[in-house]
Amino acid sequence: MTILVFGKTGQVATELATLPGTLCLGRDIANLNDPAACAAAIIANAPVAVINAAAYTAVDRAEGDEASALTINGTAPGVMAQTCAQLGIPLVQISTDYVFNGSGDTPWHPDAPTAPLGAYGRTKLAGEQAVQAEEGTYAILRTSWVVSAYSANFVKTMLRLGGAHDTLDIVADQIGGPTGAREIAAACHNIATQLVDQPIKTGIYHFAGAPDCSWAGFARAIISKAGLACTVRDIPSSAYLTPAVRPLNSRLDCTNLYTTFGIPRPDWKDTLTHILTELGHLNDRA
């Protein structure tokens, strides 16, 4: 019994490849720029479920390349969902906190109104809507601040910069939950397995590490656990301008994921320990 995964080299897909019964497809076989190829791959492999762990994730680049991002993040998931609905199998679609506008300080509930601030969020929301429109069995799993020992991410960036500088200026007014790719992969696998026998669990869910913190607070934890002699200074988002506006409030209410699937929020401090251990950067005395 195979769970087909779109994605092979990304953070979550790399972790999914280690789980039982998964078959991960890379761009050479199923490029999301060609949604029809994704549909053909699902049919050819006859899986019991599909997890889409592939996406256009270059948030800033998407501002000038929204058409490509829309094909990958919006059109392709819709075609996957259509094919899965025709075959009667579930689809797990990974989405993002960027579908919200980041206002306030209350954790976003899955039913909260969406209002993305930029191209990346708009295209990911389009993917959510396309999946829902097919009316098959699905779980849309919104997550945030993904980190791992693989690919480029905030932990690896802080290790590199923290080892080369005495001080780092890090944004302190964006709040969210750092989430390990390993934990996201396990959650997706668990959800897909449950949906096979319990399609009634179809819906939108949130999954993020706990407790919520700022990027600056997370950076301090990374620097401290790695034993680096670097000071983190808090700055506002207005002092670190980027092509795409980041949501200030990325807190996610993950209650319904726990009550429906029995999956709790992971402690990102444990996640960080695992990542630093894998990278050989854990300072046991820190």
Catalytic residues: 120
CA torsion 248→254→255→261, rounded to 10°? 170
Task: Collect all residues with Cβ–Cβ distance below 8 Å to 253 and sequence separation of at least 6.
Answer: 107, 108, 109, 110, 206
Please tell me what DSSP assigns to residue 105: S
C-alpha gyration radius of the chain: 18
Alpha helix locations (H) across 18-138? 35-45, 66-70, 76-87, 119-133
CA atoms within 13 A on the CB side of 129: 12
**Helix 268-279 with 215-225: angle, nearest 10 deg:** 50
The C-alpha atoms of residue 272 and residue 71 are separated, in whole angstroms, by 33
For residue 207, list its beta bridge partners.
143
The C-alpha atoms of residue 78 and residue 88 are separated, in whole angstroms, by 15
